[in-house]
Amino acid sequence: MKPYDDIFQEYEQLQARADKAFRDMEKDYPSCIKCAEQCSDCCNAVFGLFLIESAYLNSKVDALDEDSKKALLARADQADEALLAMEKRLRETKGDDPEKITEAIGKERVRCPLLGDDEKCALYAARPVTCRVYGIPTLINGKVHACFKAGFEKGQSYPAFNLDGVYRELYRLSNKFLERAGVNDPERASLLLSVSKSIKTPVEDLLKGVKPR
């Protein structure tokens, strides 16, 4: 057993909870869920991962064969370059206000480095919780969100998956992960890392601390 396996198992329980919520919605509201194989719309957005998710994803990349790993690392480099170019372009048009830049980044389409040319996720079984529930209503910062392709109707009431609660759990697990490595830094547990950084940064380096993005 590896030193963090029990924490990874706790994380997998969160993934399982998200998968169950998705299956339940599919069963109860089949016509509202529009997710289909190779619909990768939600894979073209910038989003951040908590440390525990980054470490988990990195451990799965590490377990791949050398050729697959090399291909993913090259995609991660390309994604980083695209992100840098986008930030530069947005700074030129929006100025240096970090809030405006963050808001503008949220509206941009940026291909996730794990999305293959076949429009499938290269690490589908290990994908983050956010990816697992994109097609159903979710509660984020107290507001309900749903994919624009979904068929949930305005004015109707539907159960929403509480992502805020999951984020609190991800923070707790990230903190536990750091403490296990002897790092007492709760602030670090709240930092979010891009998928490309998660792919490229070995777990030991994640624990030492990397610049978030």
Q: For residues 15 and 132, is the Cβ–Cβ distance under 8 A?
A: yes
> Which residue stretches of 29-146 are H helix?
51-62, 66-94, 98-107, 129-132
Q: Scan for tokens 């939600």, then name that residue.
A: 42
**Nearest distance from residue 40's CB to ligand SF4, in Å?**
6
**Nearest distance from residue 181's CB to ligand SF4, in Å?**
25
Number of other residues whose CB lies within 10 A of the CB of residue 202: 13
Among 127, 152, 161, 173, binds ligand SF4 (CB under 6 A): 127
**Nearest distance from residue 161's CB to ligand SF4, in Å?**
16
Sheet strand arrangement including 143-145: 143-145, 138-140, 161-162
Contact set for ligand SF4, span 132-191 (CB under 6 A)? none
Among 73, 86, 121, 140, binds ligand SF4 (CB under 6 A): 121
- Which of these segments, 67-75, 94-102, 111-119, 162-170, binds ligand SF4 (CB under 6 A)? 111-119
> 1 or 125, CB closer to ligand SF4?
125
- Which of these segments, 1-9, 17-25, 67-75, 126-134, binds ligand SF4 (CB under 6 A)? 126-134
Closest CA to 202 of 58, 80, 75, 5: 58
Q: Scan for tokens 């957005």, then name that residue.
A: 45
Q: Burial letters for 16-45: b for 16+ Cβ neighbours within 10 Å, e otherwise?
A: ebbeebbeebeeebeebbeeeeeeeebbeb
| Contact flag: residue 115 with ligand SF4 (CB under 6 A) | yes
> 61 or 207, CB closer to ligand SF4?
61
> 43 or 76, CB closer to ligand SF4?
43
In the numeric block, which tokens belong to residue 170?
Answer: 């991800």
| Contact flag: residue 82 with ligand SF4 (CB under 6 A) | no
Q: CB neighbours of 9 closer than 8 A, spacing ≥ 6?
A: none
Among 25, 33, 114, 163, binds ligand SF4 (CB under 6 A): 114
| Contact flag: residue 131 with ligand SF4 (CB under 6 A) | yes
Residues in touch with ligand SF4 (CB under 6 A)? 43, 112, 114-115, 121, 127-128, 131, 195
